[in-house]
Amino acid sequence: MTGARITKIKRFLGDSEKFMLTYGDGVADIDIPKLLLFHDLHKKLVTVTGVHSIGRFGEMQVELNGEVTSFAEKPQVSEGRINGGFFVIKSKFIDKYLTEDESLVLEKYPHMQCAKDGQLMSYNHNGYWQPMDTYREYDHLNYLWNNTKAPWKIW
């Protein structure tokens, strides 16, 4: 699981004070230097990139009598944020919150406890973010890439 895998890379970090991590199944136009600066300024152990979720389905406002008063096809959620899968982590997070237990899920105990301890911050990204969890998303992202319309390609 995600937590146990991170413990396995510790030996490759050497004396590094921090490292960056991504799940690798999403793309974004995150300003990496700003993300790193944000992390360095707040001095907490972990920075997660918070993004607005893209609704998978249309959303309707429906009155009690069944009348639809508004309709939005696949709206971007404007309230709250989700884990966008891009992190900056201080290396000491590994010793404090992770174990080599193969069932350890990063998003469960480690992140929950880190938040409870006041050591988890969100870098709020309002730009482009898209997961690639389904074949439909894979197809869409490849279409954007192949047609030079990839908003995450910022180089």
**pLDDT one-digit tens code per residue, 24-49:** 899 999 999 999 999 999 999 999 99
pLDDT of residue 139: 96
Alpha-carbon span 82 to 54, nearest angstrom: 10
Q: Write the CB contacts of 49 (distance below 8 Å, at least 6 apart in sequence).
A: 28, 30, 35, 83, 84, 85, 86, 87, 122, 123, 125
Question: Tell me, what's the pLDDT at 57?
Answer: 56
What does the pLDDT look like over 127-155, one tens digit per residue? 999 999 999 999 999 999 999 999 999 88
Q: Tell me if 28 sits within 8 A of 84, measured CB to CB.
A: yes
pTM: 0.82
Which element (helix H / strand E) includes 136?
A: helix 135-146
> Of 146, 145, 110, nearest to 130 (Cα)?
145
Domain ranges of the chain: 2-53+80-146
- CATH classification for the domain delimited by 2-53+80-146, as one of 3.30.70.520, 3.40.50.150, 3.90.550.10, 3.40.640.10: 3.90.550.10
